[in-house]
Amino acid sequence: MGFEQMRKVGAAARAMLVAAAAESWRVPATEITVEGGVIRHSSGKQGSFGEFATRAMQMPMPNEPKLKDPSTFNLIGKEGVVKRLDSMAKSNGTAEYTLDINEPDMLTVVIARSPKFGGTVASFDASAARAIAGVVDVKQVPTGVAVYAKGFWPAKTARDLLKITWDDSKAETRGTAQLSACLIGATIGSRCAHSITASATASRFDQRRGYRVDSGFSHFDGSHLRS
């Protein structure tokens, strides 16, 4: 997706958020301003994008949204305005990544996922995987089948031995050309017939399960296996 397309997508989203706020506050959309992620009205009413996201999704998507005048850009084209906070740590080797974290009794977890987006586990046989030295447990999880082991190699070796039958009844079946056409149409003004959700590449922390997942790999405190 090119720069101009991204501008149109952002402008369309902004217009829909403004329309949602205008409808909620019962004021003209022309009286609403947006700055710093906050939607404001001269009456003093204001709200975040998140507050109006659900309502905005129901608003009509403009085919030709009004783009921001480049002369009013606050960040784009401004040298030194945006500074990366992680550059120094990544340059001198002090940056800590998920795979650098080691705690007592911590386990490495790898997940076998469906080869098709949206596919789920119908059944699986983990007998061979459980026989690998260092494997602590094998469990079905929402995204596939997880192998918990005392190190990456036994975890990966065991994962490769899993025999999984996938349920593709709700999996994505379209090819690259169809998905590309769908996405291009969505940026112009039409929504895709089916939602296309990219897998998260950034790490996320799930407090309910007590493990951290990063780019498809998990680190899990073994004490949680007893909970």
Is 11 contained in some domain? yes
Is 94 contained in some domain? no
Is 81 contained in some domain? no
pLDDT value for 167:
95
46, 68, 90: which is the final residue of a domain?
68
Q: How confident is the model at residue 192 (pLDDT cuts 50, 70, 90)?
A: low
Is this prediction's pTM over 0.85? no
Q: Are residues 107 and 219 in the same domain?
A: yes
Q: Are residues 134 and 188 in the same domain?
A: yes
Span 129-152, average pLDDT: 95
**Distance from C-alpha of 141 to C-alpha of 138, rounded to nearest angstrom:** 10
Q: Are residues 122 and 204 in the same domain?
A: yes
Is 193 contained in some domain? yes
Span 57-65, average pLDDT: 90
Is 97 contained in some domain? no
Is 147 contained in some domain? yes
Q: Are residues 50 and 131 in the same domain?
A: no
pLDDT value for 187:
52
Q: State which residues form the domain around 55.
A: 3-68
Split into its structural domains, the chain has a count of 2
Q: Are residues 10 and 62 in the same domain?
A: yes
Q: Are residues 60 and 112 in the same domain?
A: no
- 105-114, 185-194, 204-213: which has the minimum mean pLDDT? 204-213
CATH assignment at residue 139: 3.90.1170
Is 84 contained in some domain? no
pLDDT value for 63:
86
Q: Are residues 112 and 205 in the same domain?
A: yes
Per-residue pLDDT reduced to its tens digit, 102-121: 888 899 999 999 999 899 99
Q: Are residues 139 and 63 in the same domain?
A: no
Per-residue pLDDT reduced to its tens digit, 4-28: 889 999 999 999 999 999 999 999 9
Per-residue pLDDT reduced to its tens digit, 123-133: 999 999 999 99
Between the ranges 101-115, 128-142, 161-175, 184-198, where is the mean pLDDT highest?
A: 128-142
12, 45, 68: which is the final residue of a domain?
68
Maximum pairwise Cα distance, the chain: 68
| 127 touches 84 (CB < 8 A) | no
Which residue has better confidence, 213 or 171? 171
